[in-house]
Amino acid sequence: MLNSCVMHRHTGTAPGIMVWGGIVYHSRFHLVRIAGTLISQRYISEVLEPVVLPYLQGLATAIFQQDIARPHVARIVQMFFVNPQIGLLPWPARSPYLSPIENM
């Protein structure tokens, strides 16, 4: 228990910020800072409508991928993607987490 051999670490809730980001074939989205808890309605109004939708509508064919976080799989978000111009890549149950954004 020598002081020089002890590494202190914080074990409580860590302060931080939540951001949303996306990558595309030849580009990337700007990071969107999410204040507080992200719920499905805020995901639509703060990320999908102002950032994702305008970008994807400018593409001839677009497939959008999101993981299985609760705001992403909510019914209201699934209904948002009923638009035939924007395909939503399915995320099969029990599939490995292969999101490329984690490596960015």
DSSP assignments along 12-66, one per residue:
SPPP--EEE--EETTEEPPPEEE-S---HHHHIIIIIIIIIHHHHHTSSSEEE--
pLDDT value at residue 82: 82
Q: Provide, rounded to the nearest whole percent, the portion of the chain with pLDDT above 90.
A: 15
pLDDT of residue 83: 66
- pLDDT for 87: 80
Tell me the whole-structure pTM to 2 decimals.
0.72
Mean per-residue pLDDT, 23-46: 86
Residue-level pLDDT at 42: 94
Mean pLDDT along residues 53-79: 84
